[in-house]
Amino acid sequence: MASCTLTSNKIGWHLCHTTEPMKYKKIKPNKELEPFIHFYWELKGNELESQWERVFPDGCAGVLMNLGNTCLTDNGSVSIDFGKTYVVGAMNSFKDSFIGSDTHLFGVCLKPATFANFYSYASQNELTNDTVEFEKSNSFNVDKIVDNPFNYFDLFFFTKNKKQKQPTTISY
């Protein structure tokens, strides 16, 4: 791994960047979803070089989709393929991901213990430290995510939120 700088934010995400960092953007969810979702994010690989990224545990599960070429995660043991959606269980150890120059990921960082608000899936205990490809019924729609990813995420998670008692209009 090249020399790197560790950065952190308020919820404990620590990213290791080489001297030419990849592009990483965070967006807050609609305020109706803030009790469940920390933020949405986008990561684009560095145009000049591929690099390893080290992500340290933050206690949060996540869901992501790759809109670029295949990249590796879970210390190189899992391929993240174009157009597929993956759940990433909460981690209790760091993991390294190989980010190619043409990697383009979108994802959501859920707040602790909120995964079940959106999905009837394996328990978070079973997903700890794992990255698992979702079946189509739980996946993001690649055609819709391309057009306006963060608005799409708001609508996607709002409709999946099992604890919503009545429909609410999301406005921007």
Over range 96-117, report the average pLDDT.
89
Q: Beta-strand (E) ranges in the chain?
A: 5-8, 14-17, 23-27, 37-44, 51-55, 62-66, 71-73, 78-80, 85-88, 95-99, 104-110, 131-133
The CATH number of the structural domain formed by 5-160 is: 2.60.120.10
Tens of pLDDT along 77-95? Answer: 898 999 999 999 888 888 8
Model pLDDT for residues 19-68, shown as the tens digit of each residue: 556 788 999 999 999 999 999 999 998 777 777 778 787 888 999 999 99
- Please provide the average confidence, as pLDDT, over all residues in the chain: 81
Q: Where are the domains of the chain?
A: 5-160
Kindly report the pTM of this predicted structure: 0.78
